């Protein structure tokens, strides 16, 4: 049954449907009300779970790590500076190969201070060894959260579900929550193979000499590569359970013979898709759901035949340009005739990405050789002469 | 059909709640809807904006509503703030919270407006100057999008007992102040 739910509220319910045993969170800015809603479900007796309210995001991630190591299904959520404060623990969680799920309600990172949406936070921890899945809308955020637990537990790799802050978390829309029985059938009770157990003592994350460190990193990298199949399978199988799936590693829309593609991550996709349909543009829209692991093969497949590919992303690496843009360019360089890649940041710090963006992007690349990088919606007249 | 609404108010007037209530009531009626705020400084009195899209099809776009079919203005003084009256669709309509009559405010701002003394009504019925539910009731009555009962039902998810009862009385009083269905044409234009 469809119902009116705000993104954060829906996500709290989706997490509850996964029956987490420990949820830990720092409850103050830049937190969203996902965890506030979870704590309410716990207080109302609707969710049996240990809710640990901690004094920082560093502790929130640490408590979740300990809980997951001890065999609990664990959850936390954060955003922006909170994700950065967690960064050290995020590496520890992933390096220890502990399964858990974290929602990153994507927001800009200071300075200058901004509370609004972009994806700089999750991009800043892209190398921590987590699987990263990006959602286009709140229905997908619900369904991906459920899929994420299965992927995490089967691969023994943590999953970060990235959901655009405000644009999705604070939007009320018509959503469908799955039945508890559907989720229970999809997610069997969690049993961690290397759980801490006094009867079987072991240490985890201990000092590893140079004799073994590269091997640990190698197997971690392999685990993420192998997760590709589980990500596709989880989306596929959840599709059979719920009737909703999202393309697995990436979603594609638009004509197969279109000469130009536009690639993006997250909620901008819906705006681009509406523009494509309303204005009838001959363009192929591609959305990366999985950024880690990076879907090299699938991406090359869907870029076959494109002359140009525009990458629109809500983050940047100052001094290098597009984070996603550069990775996409590198991935496509192995094609026989790769498309020219135009890499742009758009919608930084919550700047609205209007419907006209698609038209503007197609216009911009029409008679121009590939652009290495630009901030697409920068207004140069606001800047001093030397910065233009 | 796609109907775009922009709601302007001040922090503390229930601006975001108004947007959520409108979307929730519409979704309850079987429509697809989307409501979201443009958060700024979150403090009482600061100008705030929220957006609503209602449609028979799922709404996928996520950009702000730049050319609304309908504007709801919760504080008349905001009409002087640059941008507030901007972008209204050619067939668009404005509902404004004002103690002055529609003709006077229309003349002052040089565009047709329908006024509702929402703050006064809210003070009468709730004892608090929160104009949002009164304006929504008037809006639904003017457009005839769906009956105000759906709004009362959506309010029932937030309030019970005395508060719900007072709001119900407020909604009915506000609905009685405007001409039912007089914005029907604009609604059809928006839906086209």
**What pLDDT score does B12 carry?**
87
What domain count does chain B have? 1
Nearest to B54 by CA among B88, B23, B87, B19: B23
Query: A229 CB contacts (<8 Å, ≥6 apart)?
Result: none
**What pLDDT score does B192 carry?**
54
**What pLDDT score does B191 carry?**
63
Beta strands in chain A (DSSP E): 2-6, 22-25, 50-53, 74-78, 101-106, 131-134, 159-164, 172-176, 250-253, 260-264, 283-288, 290-292, 308-313, 340-345, 374-375
**A167·B35 Cβ contact <8 A:** no
Contacts of residue B58 in chain A, CB cutoff 8 Å? 174
Full set of structural domains in chain A with CATH: 2-242 (3.40.50.970), 251-387 (3.40.50.920)
Contacts of residue B36 in chain A, CB cutoff 8 Å? 166-167, 170-172
Residue B41 near chain A (CB below 8 Å): no
Query: What residues are paired with B45 via a beta bridge?
Result: none
User: Nearest chain A Cα to B42, which residue?
Assistant: A115
**B63·A353 Cβ contact <8 A:** yes
User: Nearest chain A Cα to B50, which residue?
Assistant: A171
Residue B184 banded pLDDT, cuts 50, 70, 90: confident
A191 alpha-carbon distance from chain centroid: 25
Question: What does each of the 388 residues of chain A score in pLDDT, given as a tens digit?
Answer: 899 999 999 999 999 999 999 999 999 888 889 999 999 999 999 999 999 999 999 999 999 999 999 999 999 999 999 999 999 999 999 999 999 999 999 999 999 999 999 999 999 999 999 999 999 999 999 999 999 999 999 999 999 999 999 999 999 999 999 999 999 999 999 999 999 999 999 888 889 999 999 999 999 999 999 999 999 999 999 999 999 999 999 999 999 999 999 999 999 999 999 999 999 999 999 999 999 999 999 999 999 999 999 999 999 999 999 999 999 999 999 999 999 999 999 999 999 999 999 999 999 999 999 999 999 999 999 999 999 9
Closest partner residue to B34 among A171, A352, A353, by Cβ? Answer: A171
What is the b/e burial string over B99-117, where b = at least 16 CB atoms within 10 angstroms of the residue's CB? eeebeebbeebeeebbbbb
Pairing of strands B2-10, A308-313: unpaired
Residue B33 near chain A (CB below 8 Å): yes
Cα(A265)–Cα(B11) distance, rounded to whole angstroms? Answer: 32
Question: Which CATH number does the domain housing residue B159 bear?
Answer: 3.40.920.10
Contacts of residue A118 in chain B, CB cutoff 8 Å? none
Domain of residue B74, residue span:
2-191
* Tens digit of each residue's pLDDT (9 = 90 or more) over B87-136: 999 989 999 999 999 999 999 999 999 999 999 999 999 999 999 999 99
Among B25, B49, B63, the residue to mutate for chain A (most A Cβ within 10 A):
B63
Here the tokens at position B45 are 């009195």
Which 8-state DSSP code applies to residue A380? Answer: G
Nearest to A226 by CA among A292, A273, A271, A306: A292
What is the torsional sign of CA A102, A103, A108, A110? Answer: negative
Residue B32 near chain A (CB below 8 Å): yes
| Cβ atoms of residues A316 and A322 within 8 Å | yes
User: Nearest chain B Cα to A278, which residue?
Assistant: B61
Residue B58 near chain A (CB below 8 Å): yes
Instruction: Assess: ipTM above 0.85.
Output: yes
């Amino acid at each position: 049954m469809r119902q009116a739910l705000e993104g954060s509220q829906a996500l709290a319910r989706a997490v509850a449907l996964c029956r987490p045993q420990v949820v830990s969170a720092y409850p103050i800015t830049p937190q969203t009300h996902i965890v506030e809603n979870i704590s309410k479900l716990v207080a109302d007796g609707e969710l049996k779970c240990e809710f640990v309210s901690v004094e920082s995001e560093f502790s929130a991630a640490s408590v979740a790590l300990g809980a997951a190591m001890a065999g609990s299904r664990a959850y936390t959520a954060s955003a922006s500076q909170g994700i950065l404060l967690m960064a050290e623990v995020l590496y520890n969680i992933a390096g220890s190969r502990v399964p858990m799920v974290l929602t990153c309600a994507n927001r800009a990172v200071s300075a200058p201070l901004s509370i609004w949406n972009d994806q700089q936070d999750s991009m800043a921890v892209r190398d921590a060894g987590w699987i990263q899945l990006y959602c286009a809308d709140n229905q997908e955020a619900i369904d991906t959260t459920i899929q994420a637990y299965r992927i995490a537990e089967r691969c023994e790799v943590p999953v970060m579900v990235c959901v655009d802050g405000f644009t999705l978390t604070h939007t009320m829309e018509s959503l469908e929550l799955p039945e508890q029985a559907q989720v229970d059938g999809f997610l069997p009770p969690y049993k961690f193979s290397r759980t801490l157990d006094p009867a079987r003592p072991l240490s985890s994350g201990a000092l590893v000499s140079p004799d073994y460190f590269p091997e640990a990193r190698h197997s971690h990298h392999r685990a993420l590569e192998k997760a590709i199949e589980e990500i596709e399978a989880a989306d596929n199988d959840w599709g059979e359970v719920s009737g909703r799936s999202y393309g697995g590693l990436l979603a594609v829309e638009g004509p197969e013979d279109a000469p130009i593609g536009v690639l993006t991550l997250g909620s901008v996709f819906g705006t681009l898709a509406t523009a494509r349909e309303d204005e009838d543009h001959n363009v192929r829209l591609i959305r990366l759901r999985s950024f880690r692991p990076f879907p090299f093969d699938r991406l090359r497949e869907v870029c076959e035949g494109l002359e140009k590919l525009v990458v629109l992303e809500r983050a940047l690496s100052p001094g290098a340009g597009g984070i996603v843009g550069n990775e996409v360019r590198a991935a496509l360089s192995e094609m026989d005739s790769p498309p020219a890649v135009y890499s742009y940041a758009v919608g930084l710090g919550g700047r609205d990405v209007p419907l006209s963006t698609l038209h503007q992007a197609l216009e911009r690349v029409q008679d121009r050789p590939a652009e290495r990088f630009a901030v697409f919606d920068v207004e140069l007249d606001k800047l001093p002469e030397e910065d233009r | 059909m796609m109907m775009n609404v922009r709601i302007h108010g001040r922090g503390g007037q229930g601006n975001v709640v108004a947007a959520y209530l409108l979307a929730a009531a519409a979704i309850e009626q079987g429509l697809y809807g989307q409501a979201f705020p443009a958060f700024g400084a979150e403090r009482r009195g600061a100008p705030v904006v929220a957006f609503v899209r209602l449609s028979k099809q799922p709404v996928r776009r996520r950009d702000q509503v730049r050319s609304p079919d309908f504007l709801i203005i919760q504080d008349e003084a905001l009409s002087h703030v640059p941008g507030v009256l901007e972008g209204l669709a050619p067939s668009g309509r404005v509902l404004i919270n004002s103690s002055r009559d529609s003709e006077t405010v229309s003349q002052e701002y040089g565009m047709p407006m329908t006024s509702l003394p929402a703050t006064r009504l809210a003070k009468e019925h709730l004892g608090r100057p929160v104009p949002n539910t009164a304006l929504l009731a008037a809006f639904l009555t003017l457009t005839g999008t769906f009956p105000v009962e759906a709004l009362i039902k959506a309010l029932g998810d937030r309030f019970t007992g005395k508060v719900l009862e007072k709001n119900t009385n407020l909604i009915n009083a506000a609905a009685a102040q405007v001409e039912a269905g007089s914005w029907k044409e604009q609604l059809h234009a928006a839906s086209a």
